[in-house]
Amino acid sequence: GEKMQLLSARIKANQGEGKPESGEVHFGEPFKLSMDWHAAEALDGGRVLIQVRNATDDIIFASGTSDQGLSFEQPGRYRVGVTIDPNPLLPGRYFIDIYAGVRRGQRYAKHDCLLDFWVLDTSTIASGSPIDQRPGYVYYLPSWKIDKTQG
């Protein structure tokens, strides 16, 4: 059998209690990815990695449990969760790759494009422009200022 087996994976937007999971996330809305894993044996630094891809297969970002020093060593079942907050993804369709492996880089599980979801445009930015007309992959709001220097 597999050393690490993905039992389930789901995306949950902050849609409130009682609302169904729809595979849709609103622009700027945080969302969570929850995964259930089974480790069949002891692992040396078991870790989970996700990659978020857009519809043209570009990797928008990747992150893993090891980014925060988290791993699992003992056999058993684990629930692994990651929260994307803030959610910088511009409106469009996205896919999530899920991998599991160990500290030395060996992969035990690889699931490309396992989940897909849509980020919906429900807002405008301060200028009044629709957010889906913004170029790029993510929306990041840096801190701007204007200082009058003469006249």
| pLDDT tens profile 93-127 | 999 999 998 877 678 889 999 999 999 876 655 56
Is 134 exposed, middle or buried, given 0-12, 13-18 or 19+ CB atoms closer than 10 A? middle
How far out from the chain centre does Cα 80 lie?
12
Please give the biggest Cα pair distance in the chain: 75
Position 18 scores a pLDDT of 46
CA 35 to chain CA mean position, Å: 12
Percent of the chain with pLDDT over 70: 85
What is the rounded CA–CA span in Å between residue 125 and residue 85?
A: 18
| C-alpha to C-alpha distances, 66 to 18, 102, 109, 125, nearest whole angstrom | 33, 10, 16, 34
